[in-house]
Amino acid sequence: EVRRLSAPDIRSRKGGEPIVALTAYHAHTARIADASCDVILVGDSLGMVMHGLESTVPVTLDMMILQAQAVMRGSRRALVVVDMPFGSYEASREEAFHSCVRVMKETGCGAVKLEGGRRMAETIRFLVERGIPVMAHIGLTPQSINVLGGFRAQGREEADWGPIEDDARAVAEAGAFAMVIEAVAEPLARKITAEVPCPTIGIGASPACDGQVLVMEDMLGLTPRVPKFVKRFGDLGPGIAAAIEAYASEVRARTFPGPEHTYAMKKPAK
Ligand code: KIV
Ligand code: NA
């Protein structure tokens, strides 16, 4: 019987062996990720990756819950963290609580993640005090794309550091057990990691962070365009295309299915 990692288990990894996090949206990919990862994130990036949406803004709570249920069924050991989608938690701490309770009750996940620094600190405290472990997400926050006007790295000029450092301190003080830092210049990510008591999980935020996260399809080479911070650890697209081409040509040539894939009649009883 494998015990699942908890939010406090991940919290206690501050400054230790790097935390390995990866997204998954399905039972089968969750099963594969579970073998090597500490945290599986059911990210709202599923809107773009699975559904072909232009941003994460249209993603709904129902979409998140459906995929999180699949990921929980497919995994046993990793802490499963579920993204709270745009519009499900920002208006008030009570709204956030009710949305998070739905996610936790309907999926059994161990934690939620939400975007925002100081502006979400009061909500994070409210949730944590009521039994909901929260991973924060600061730096580039993709749900704010329509306000930001584009995806751009943060903190590349020292004059911009103050608000991002304040965000990091605020979510840590509010009780976040970890924080994702997205697309932040290395020296700032390093400074924040040294300053806050909880682990920082970087995506485009340098190796100085206490852990790393990537979108699985990006690192497998399955998505067409990827940001600078993605390393393609695999190139699975051509392998999948070759398998499907082989299937199509065997179907057209009637060489698939072969006798070994075909049911014969039972031998009649004597
Ligand atoms: O939605 C997502 O996949 C994320 C990670 C990239 C951090 O939030
Ligand atoms: Na996300």
0.95 exceeded by pTM = yes
With the most atoms of ligand 1 within 8 angstroms of its CB, the residue from 215, 223, 228, 229 to mutate is: 215
Which residue's alpha carbon is at the smallest distance from atom 4 of ligand 1? Answer: 43
Alpha carbon separation from 48 to 1, 31, 215 (Å, rounded): 35, 22, 11
For the chain, the structural domain boundaries read: 7-234
Identify the pLDDT of residue 12: 98
Amino acid at 85: P
Class of domain 7-234 (CATH, top level):
alpha beta
The predicted structure's pLDDT at residue 2: 86
Tell me the CA distances in angstroms from 219 to 67, 235, 257, one per residue in order: 20, 8, 33
Position 269 scores a pLDDT of 82
Is 182 known to be catalytic? yes
Centre of ligand 1 from the C-alpha of residue 241, in Å: 26
How far is residue 255 from each of residues 44, 113, 244, measured CA to CA in Å? Answer: 42, 49, 14
Q: Identify the pLDDT of residue 146.
A: 96
**Residue 270 pLDDT:** 77
Catalytic: which of 1, 157, 182, 186?
182
- Please name the residue that has the structure tokens 């485009």: 204
Residues with CB under 6 A from ligand 1: 23, 41, 43-45, 83, 180, 203, 213, 215
Q: What is the pLDDT along the chain (270 residues), one digit of tens a residue?
A: 789 999 999 999 999 999 999 999 999 999 999 999 999 999 999 999 999 999 999 999 999 999 999 999 999 999 999 999 999 999 999 999 999 999 999 999 999 999 999 999 999 999 999 999 999 999 999 999 999 998 999 999 999 999 999 999 999 999 999 999 999 999 999 999 999 999 999 999 999 999 999 999 999 999 988 999 999 999 999 999 999 999 999 999 999 999 999 999 999 887
ipTM above 0.90, yes or no: yes
